[in-house]
């Protein structure tokens, strides 16, 4: 028996290993880049149940090339699996994009809500496992988008650690050379953060780190 922490670690390692090829496959699908015909015969054929916005297809056939991760093969046809190595359920990218945009406008619209909506549209009984499967696929979809953004930032020269300080300073910190000194110059306010302290240790089963310009790692804080 493996612990929940170990399952998270193994799944995260498997996703990270194939992330560069996932990003390439997503960009090729997103921008309709034609697939290079290298006369490579599919070495494997597997089947997944595909969940979309208005359609639900059982046991669709996916052709997988030699040494090609299963999720790369799925991305070629606009799908993303819910597990890293041997997916049996896949979500249409359009469905993940729709939920992403909904969350941008209404952050309280939960994954449970979207999965229940999908079950109603497909006339199936809601089951809790679908919540977990959709959540897994959506997490990887967001990670792919972050990797795409990182590639763009590297090309534009926006990847150094101090770029945000030098190139994206907010207006509240901007000063003119002849601007008089305010008193006080800065005013900060915050609460005691007691509600967050109650959650200390609640995420110990998931050791993953969220890469962001705005969150500082524990090691850096220490």
Helix (H, G, I), strand (E, B) or coil at 142: helix
Look at residue 62 in the predicted model and tell me its pLDDT: 92
For residues 86 and 74, give the distance between their C-alpha atoms in angstroms, rounded to a whole number.
11
The whole-angstrom separation of Cα 222 and Cα 218 is 6
pLDDT recorded at residue 102: 95
Domain ranges of the chain: 4-158+205-221
d(CA 158, CA 33): 26
Averaged pLDDT in 10-residue chunks for the chain of 222 residues: 82 92 94 68 85 90 90 94 93 95 92 93 89 94 94 87 72 77 80 64 66 75 86
pLDDT at 137: 95
CA distance 126 to 117: 9
The distance in angstroms from the start CA to the end CA of the chain is: 34
pLDDT value at position 87? 93
pLDDT at 202: 58
What is the spatial distance between Cα 8 and Cα 135, in angstroms, rounded to a whole number? 13
Closest listed residue to residue 56, CA positions, set 124, 114, 136: 124
């Amino acid at each position: 028996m493996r612990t929940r922490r170990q399952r998270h670690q193994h799944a995260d390692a498997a996703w990270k290993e194939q992330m560069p090829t996932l990003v390439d496959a997503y960009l090729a699908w997103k921008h309709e880049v034609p697939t290079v015909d290298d006369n490579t015969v599919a070495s494997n054929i597997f089947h997944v149940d595909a969940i979309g916005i208005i359609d639900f297809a059982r046991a669709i056939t996916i052709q997988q090339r030699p040494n090609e991760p299963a999720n790369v093969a799925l991305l070629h046809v606009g799908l993303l699996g819910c597990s890293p190595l041997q997916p049996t359920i896949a979500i249409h990218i359009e469905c993940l994009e729709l939920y992403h945009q909904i969350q941008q406008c209404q952050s309280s619209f939960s994954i449970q809500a979207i999965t229940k909506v999908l079950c109603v549209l497909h006339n199936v009984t809601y089951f809790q496992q679908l919540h977990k499967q959709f959540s897994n696929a959506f997490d990887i979809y967001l990670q792919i988008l972050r990797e795409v953004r990182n590639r763009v930032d590297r090309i534009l020269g926006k990847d150094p650690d101090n770029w945000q300080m030098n190139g994206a300073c907010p207006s509240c910190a901007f000063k003119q050379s002849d601007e008089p000194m305010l008193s006080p110059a800065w005013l900060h306010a915050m609460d005691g953060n007691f509600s967050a302290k109650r959650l200390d240790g609640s995420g110990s089963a998931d050791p993953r780190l969220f890469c962001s310009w705005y969150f500082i790692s524990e090691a850096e804080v220490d």
